[in-house]
Amino acid sequence: MKKQVTLKINNVPVTVDEGTRVLDAARAAGFHIPTLCYLKDVTNDGSCRVCVVEIKGMRNLAASCSTVVREGMEVFTNTPKVKKSRKTTIELILSNHEKKCLSCVRSGNCELQALSLEYGCDPVAYEGVTKKYLPDDTNPYLVRDNNKCILCRRCVAVCNKIQGVGVIGPNGRGFNTHIGCAFERSLDTVPCVACGQCINVCPVGALTERDNTHEVLEALADPDKYVIIGTAPSVRVAIGEEFGYPIGTDTEGKMVSAIKALGADKVFDVDMAADMTIMEEGYEFLARLKDADAKLPMITSCSPGWIRYIEYYYPELIGHLSTCKSPQQMFGAIMKTYYAEKFGIDPAKMVVVAVMPCTAKKFERTREHQSASGYPDIDVVLTTRELAKLLKSQGIDLSKMPNGEFDNPIGEGSSAGLLFGATGGVMEAALRTVYEVVTGKEPEKLDFKAVRGTKGIKTAVIDMNGTKVKVAVAHTLQNAKTIMEQIKAGTADYQFVEIMTCPGGCVNGGGQPIHSAKVLNTTDIKTLRAKAIYKSDKKAKIRKCHENPVVKKLYSEYFGEPNSHKAHEVLHTEYKKRTKFE
């Protein structure tokens, strides 16, 4: 047990572990202290000064997020001096913040707005010079508008500490300080991986995804277009949050009905394409295992942020990547080839919309070698947030919708495909199939618990009738980097590696509903959403990709067998080395 420290907070004795911050001690004791720049496990630089408290014997107010408790300390969290200081701080931040709240996408979900209300701030208390910046909208996935930035640096901390990418940081000094890239380059000319984690932690509207909702509305309004909307596994366990459901609620049926109410011609489950990914990737892996010259470990290729990362930072290891397209791209490719042929639809008139928990998918759509039919596999990518926004804009309340079902004949997905949403899910889905292919029988237990959970890097050895397969699962690019360095050093003793860009995997992707630091600091949202996925898997009828009747039909009617020539043409892709600061 850690050494205990006793202090007084607002005259109430409190005992906590040594090393605890004043903020956490106060919260545990039931005293609310507002914060702005603080984010648990990510940053406590104390740069915003909103969480200040009075500590007896200290001359100045202290930032409670970065001050460690001491024995006998006397802390006061709500004195007039403290309240006045916080109010002034917020008003000063507001003085250089573009207050376009009426049209801001974060209005109502903005931490600065909430604080301003809580402290009764005058938004124009300090009028004076304001900084003007040109928003950076040079890339297909996100927009950075520094006019709204309040310099909290949460985005910087996530980019550096969680992803180990570090393409953004504070440039300049004093009033000229702004968050930007090296040499004031735009985001499209630096090695940004498009993960969008910066958006998820931005307390205001300075970082948003590129909005593509109008493209969907235009397509839906055009009678000549055949609009197919497909949703990724993680969307169904998160979109409910935008309509008042608790975090970790699976609203698949209501979501499907809501999208149908939008007027889409077909609503399909991208889980089906995840199943196809497992077939292609699983057989690719087995072929590599038998080939003495093949590159091992083989690494998954579903997460487009990760793909960008390896192309920028470890291009010499690209040969380790599976050549499989991601489920999103396989989905679009199958729609515009097999489905279009089967039902006599002109792929030129098809608009395939993918709803994803991800911002990097918006980039992935634009990659080369992603148009199997001659037309782009995917036409529009919406994030989970954008789908919610689109539904709201059309007056559709998801919570009131009946439970609908994905359209057939291609709507069915196995629950193994659903697992793709959580870190370790692709590996588990692959193992369920690969095990059976190798041994000819079902694994004793379908649940591969060793690859579940949010530990940074998980490893396991699976015995398949004497063939021992060593696997590793990593999430966040910081952990991916560790594995890449192991491969380079020749110490990576694995044959199969799953890498997901975002912490916790897609359930916590850069396109998922945004929660304030108040929620993030007390709730493990990635685990709650993942739980909803595992719960659905547990009660599903089809729990293995190869048993999905849609998958069987696709191979018997169109692709022949996994990794066939046709499958390679439609479902596989290529990668390229990227130069960091071209």
Partner 1 sequence: MSNNFVGTAEQDKAFDEVLKELESVPGPLMKALQKAQEIYGYLPIEVQTRIADKFDVPLEEIYGIATFYSQFNLNPKGKYTIGICLGTACYVKGSGDVLNKFKEKLGIDAGQTTPDRKFTLDATRCIGCCGLAPVLTVNEEVYGKVTVDDVDKILAKYND
> Which residues make up the interface to partner 1 (CB under 8 A)?
160, 165-173, 180-183, 190, 580-581
- What does the alpha-carbon distance between residue 162 and residue 345 come to, in Å, rounded to a whole number? 45
CB of 175 to partner 1, least distance (A): 13
Query: By C-beta, is 72 or 172 nearer to partner 1?
Result: 172
CB of 242 to partner 1, least distance (A): 33
Q: Using DSSP bridges, classify how beta strands 52-55 and 62-63 pair: parallel, antiparallel or unpaired.
A: antiparallel
CB of 203 to partner 1, least distance (A): 21
Query: By C-beta, is 165 or 396 nearer to partner 1?
Result: 165
CB 132 within 8 A of CB 190: no
Query: By C-beta, is 172 or 409 nearer to partner 1?
Result: 172
Residues 215, 267, 422, 464: what is their CA dihedral angle, to the nearest 10 degrees? -130
Query: By C-beta, is 165 or 350 nearer to partner 1?
Result: 165
CB of 174 to partner 1, least distance (A): 9
539 contact partners, CB below 8 Å, separation of at least 6: none
Query: By C-beta, is 82 or 187 nearer to partner 1?
Result: 187
**Geometric angle at alpha carbon 158, from 483 and 526, rounded to 5°:** 80
CB of 36 to partner 1, least distance (A): 21
Query: Whose CA is closest to 75, among 56, 61, 51, 58?
Result: 56
**Exposed (0-12), middle (13-18) or buried (19+): which is 129, by Cβ within 10 Å?**
exposed
CB 141 within 8 A of CB 363: yes
Query: By C-beta, is 120 or 174 nearer to partner 1?
Result: 174
CB of 45 to partner 1, least distance (A): 14
CB of 187 to partner 1, least distance (A): 11
| Bridge partners (DSSP) listed for residue 442 | none
- What does the alpha-carbon distance between residue 30 and residue 40 come to, in Å, rounded to a whole number? 17
CB of 167 to partner 1, least distance (A): 6
Query: By C-beta, is 481 or 553 nearer to partner 1?
Result: 481
State the DSSP H helix or E strand holding residue 330, giving kind and residue range, or none if neither.
helix 327-334
Backbone angles phi, psi at 432, to 5 degrees: -60, -40
Q: Using DSSP bridges, classify how beta strands 496-500 and 467-475 pair: parallel, antiparallel or unpaired.
A: parallel
CB of 529 to partner 1, least distance (A): 30
CB 163 within 8 A of CB 154: no
Query: By C-beta, is 150 or 181 nearer to partner 1?
Result: 181
> Which pairs from 166-173 meet CB under 8 Å and 24+ separation?
167/191, 167/192, 168/192, 168/198
Query: By C-beta, is 182 or 450 nearer to partner 1?
Result: 182
CB of 110 to partner 1, least distance (A): 26
CB 22 within 8 A of CB 67: yes
CB of 181 to partner 1, least distance (A): 6
CB of 177 to partner 1, least distance (A): 8
Query: Whose CA is closest to 493, among 464, 466, 457, 465?
Result: 457
Query: By C-beta, is 285 or 309 nearer to partner 1?
Result: 309
Query: By C-beta, is 185 or 531 nearer to partner 1?
Result: 185
- What does the alpha-carbon distance between residue 313 and residue 463 come to, in Å, rounded to a whole number? 33
Query: By C-beta, is 132 or 173 nearer to partner 1?
Result: 173
- What does the alpha-carbon distance between residue 23 and residue 68 come to, in Å, rounded to a whole number? 9
Query: Whose CA is closest to 358, among 325, 384, 334?
Result: 384
State the DSSP H helix or E strand holding residue 526, giving kind and residue range, or none if neither.
helix 525-538
Dihedral over Cα of 255, 257, 262, 266: its sign? positive
